[in-house]
Structure 1
């Protein structure tokens, strides 16, 4: 690799996905696009999203309530259009996928089915310092069942002095508590250090121990290769507004493995949109579950929210995850290269803590010493990145809309910020 603008532009010229950059809307800074590296928090807006939303608005104005059945994309089954393209993104069968609610709501609903403490099997195993919403969700689930989190929540820690986890430590912890585990639940990609967990191995270990296994894929869906069906995960859920670019706080995707579908006796909170379409409007007193993951739906889908998700998934379907991941690897490799180049120039002011062999689009940079001022400098100079206490900057170039030139521009601004001694 070369540390030069010409080299970055050469890589961009060779990029088969380069035209997609023009299909997104960028915030502006001093008359040019910002360097936007926070696709791990909120993806940029695809230009086509507005048309999908406007289509729903137009149908509403023309048809009113009849839009449920007579809109160009009828609202009553609008969400079903997402199942097939979304299944390709997460490695599932279309019947295993649904879109509903938001992420933590879906996780609570899924834990009704897949956290069933009984006898000695009461404990939940997760990673240390999971995303706070997951921590709160798991703790509240335990309390709901009359259990104390301090006694029934097992957290697998990083090794002393290290910034990442080891798969064998998860497997060892699962084996150690095999007789007590009811659930293994982990974030598939850690929000803080950017590490992708070995979901296949951990899922197999959890099942061998007799526990259900579920995944929070907020930072993984649309970012890394997933094979939920083949791995045999019992359930998973993810938000759609990070790498999937569906808009702030938008609808969540959920996965339930095929072996759990079409069961009337599975514990589940139920609502009328989860009952079979053929009988839904007959208002029968008995719940008759749809034989797909849609059975976990409670209410009719929020079509105005789902519309931009469908717009984004159309792009994923056009490109496919293999091509996105190939570009991601090129972007992240170049980002790592320029970071190390700058670090050598400034005598080791920071280090990358995302493990090389287990990463997606995100690199987490651990700053030595006072680092908030550097983050502020980057933000003031048109580089949108993410800060996590106490001293980590998260960088997540997204393959749909980021370029190698973005990465080189960032490196120059980073170097200038350090030169101005903003770390001191």
Structure 2
């Protein structure tokens, strides 16, 4: 859609590589260098006065310059989102506020096989509260013989936990299989039994259409370096629903950048949170880390918004799915229906292939391969993520040729 707005890595032969790893790190928008240079110039010319002088009102309210585009991408109001900290840091900060086990209500439900940092964070929070991992952590797994989780099984587990459930924490898009979960149904079920609901959107933000405000989840977190192309280790993002904006009773691990901006520099010991999601900021905004997002986020509106991005995504993944289906020996783990998947197709390859990722890279295909042992053969899973802002149908079809020649499965 906007391929010319990105820098494309080169393959060994000098041609543009087939870059299908946007689910791990998005490509660099061409406007990033200019945006970073602008902030470096402000720093050079103004020093500390760059916080309140320089261009666009200074760095003090830098996060506000990102709110409009970021809120449109995740389906929120501008004050409900902020780019800050890092994903797992944000997850811990929001769990402090929204996981409040009391009496019978002390369980957390999440997907089995969630991304490791989510598992680490949830287990750490349960242990912090003195709870029992075996008793108080409910993990919903795929049915035997399936790689994906049925919505009805998630809802059933939520309803079964009932008034013992304190929190539903669920992924938007499953990082391994690419499954796009029914988030509004999960949010509704969780709130119906009185639980808080939070989403990890690491593989969903900038990938699939989201309506966080409308769905009514309590909070969400995501990283900005995958489909949002914010650069390696870019600061993360978080959402807090506006119904919590006036709730000063929510506990939080406070930091000075989350203090009310109007009197932050009076240096008082009492913490008065900024209204909205910005009140969960902790440390000083990393201006040079946020700057690439000012170049990258507007590309989504230029592409026509998330609905247009999603339409292109489905076109690419439909073709990729068909192509992979025709390669003998592959087992596709991603749902067949385009509505049930993000911009990713995952396929299981039998047999031990530790050098496959490097072999494909030498042939110009940059993607992700992880060892797995689904059938006992010591095989692995190939994850291919066609990012709709810069990948094309022609590239999708070239993948077929590269895979067939490399795998020798035709």
TM-score range, shorter-chain basis? over 0.9
Alignment of 1:385-404 (within 5 A): 385-390=367-372, 391-404=380-393
> Which one of the candidate residues 331, 334, 338 is aligned to 2:316?
331
Distance in 2, matches of 1:420 and 1:171, equals 40
Q: Contact between 2:356 and 2:369, CA under 8 Å: does it hold in 1?
A: no
Distance in 2, matches of 1:312 and 1:68, equals 22
Report the secondary structure of 2:292's partner residue.
Answer: helix
Distance in 1, matches of 2:147 and 2:247, equals 42
1:28 aligns with 2:10: yes
> Which one of the candidate residues 345, 348, 352 is aligned to 1:366?
348
Match for residue 199 of structure 1?
A: 183
Deviates more, 1:365-374 or 1:101-110: 365-374
TM-score (norm 2): 0.94
Match for residue 52 of structure 2?
A: 69
Alignment of 1:86-165 (within 5 A): 86-165=70-149
Question: Are the structure 2 counterparts of residues 230 and 420 from structure 1 closer, same or farther at C-alpha, using a change threshold of 3 Å?
Answer: closer
Question: Are the structure 2 counterparts of residues 254 and 277 from structure 1 closer, same or farther at C-alpha, using a change threshold of 3 Å?
Answer: same
User: Could you report, residue by residue, the CA deviation over 1:391-421 in whole angstroms, capped at 9, with x for unpaired residues?
Assistant: 1100001011111111121111111113389
Q: Contact between 1:263 and 1:289, CA under 8 Å: does it hold in 2?
A: no
Alignment of 1:280-291 (within 5 A): 280-291=264-275
Deviates more, 1:90-99 or 1:312-321: 312-321
Aligned residue pairs total 398
Measured after TM superposition, the shift of residue 134 of structure 1 is 0.5
Measured after TM superposition, the shift of residue 264 of structure 1 is 1.8
Alignment of 1:257-336 (within 5 A): 257-319=241-303, 320-336=305-321
Q: Contact between 2:357 and 2:366, CA under 8 Å: does it hold in 1?
A: no
Distance in 1, matches of 2:355 and 2:286, equals 41
TM-score (norm 1): 0.91
Alignment of 1:172-251 (within 5 A): 172-251=156-235
Measured after TM superposition, the shift of residue 340 of structure 1 is 2.4
Q: Contact between 2:354 and 2:371, CA under 8 Å: does it hold in 1?
A: no
Measured after TM superposition, the shift of residue 99 of structure 1 is 1.0
Show structure 2 runs of 5+ residues with no match.
Answer: 373-379
Match for residue 12 of structure 1?
A: none
Measured after TM superposition, the shift of residue 370 of structure 1 is 3.6
Distance in 2, matches of 1:219 and 1:370, equals 27
Distance in 2, matches of 1:309 and 1:371, equals 37
1:410 aligns with 2:399: yes
Distance in 2, matches of 1:413 and 1:383, equals 7
Measured after TM superposition, the shift of residue 377 of structure 1 is 2.7
Q: Contact between 2:329 and 2:409, CA under 8 Å: does it hold in 1?
A: no
Distance in 2, matches of 1:408 and 1:175, equals 44
Q: Contact between 2:184 and 2:215, CA under 8 Å: does it hold in 1?
A: yes
User: Could you report, residue by residue, the CA deviation over 1:181-236 in whole angstroms, capped at 9, with x for unpaired residues?
Assistant: 11010111101111011110011111111100001000000000101000000000
Match for residue 336 of structure 2?
A: 356
> Which one of the candidate residues 318, 325, 339 is aligned to 1:340?
325
